[in-house]
């Protein structure tokens, strides 16, 4: 598939739909060793005078070690025809199964990290900040009790969007 680079300021999307309803993949690693997982929590905005995304990864997720070890990751989005594949990629671990091959996605190296040719939109992101969600900091305690019954608090990553690729 052919992609073209567009300016981040020309991107017209609804982040609530893209992340919360359509889902995305966060992918990190090299052409020889990478992992991916589906995300449905995240955000897009501006902080520190940079266009950024935020993604959240639980400590037990295999992809976390790849994101932690890398300077960059991709956040990629797909058409509705790939929703079932995103379900598989979010429910199976790459530690235990070749899940990317199982769904038939084609790995694509980009700027020292990985994405997939099936994507309709790829954001190449450079990590700026990471921190763990802290239970003592919840103002609405129901977020803690409802979302973290196992106390497996996400790490939040803030990353600058360095490149935007759209499928031609």
The rounded distance, in Å, linking the Cα atoms of 59 and 67 is: 11
In tens, the pLDDT along 126-146 reads 999 999 999 999 999 999 999
Residue 134 vs residues 51, 137, 144, 152, 154: alpha-carbon distances, Å? 25, 6, 9, 10, 9
Map out the domains of the chain as residue ranges.
3-167
Its pTM stands at 0.96
Element (H, E) at 146: helix 141-147
Give yes or no for a contact between 164 and 56, defined as CB atoms under 8 angstroms apart.
Answer: no
In tens, the pLDDT along 31-74 reads 999 999 999 999 999 999 999 999 999 999 999 999 999 999 99
- CATH placement of domain 3-167: 2.30.110.10
């Amino acid at each position: 598939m052919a992609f073209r680079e567009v300016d981040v300021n020309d991107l017209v999307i609804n982040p609530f739909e893209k992340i919360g309803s359509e889902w995305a993949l966060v992918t990190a690693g090299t052409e020889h060793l990478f992992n991916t997982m589906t995300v449905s929590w995240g955000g897009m905005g501006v902080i520190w005078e940079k266009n950024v995304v935020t993604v959240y990864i639980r400590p037990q997720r295999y992809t976390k070690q790849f994101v932690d070890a890398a300077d960059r990751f991709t956040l990629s989005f797909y058409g509705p025809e790939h929703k079932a594949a995103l379900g598989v990629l979010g429910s199976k671990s790459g530690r235990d199964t070749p899940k990317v091959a199982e769904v038939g996605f084609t790995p694509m190296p980009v700027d020292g990290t990985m994405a997939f040719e099936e994507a309709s939109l790829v954001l190449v992101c450079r990590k700026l900040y990471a921190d763990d969600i802290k239970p003592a900091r919840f103002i609405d305690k129901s977020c803690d009790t409802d979302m973290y019954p196992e106390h497996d608090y996400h790490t939040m990553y803030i990353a600058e969007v360095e490149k935007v690729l759209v499928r031609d």
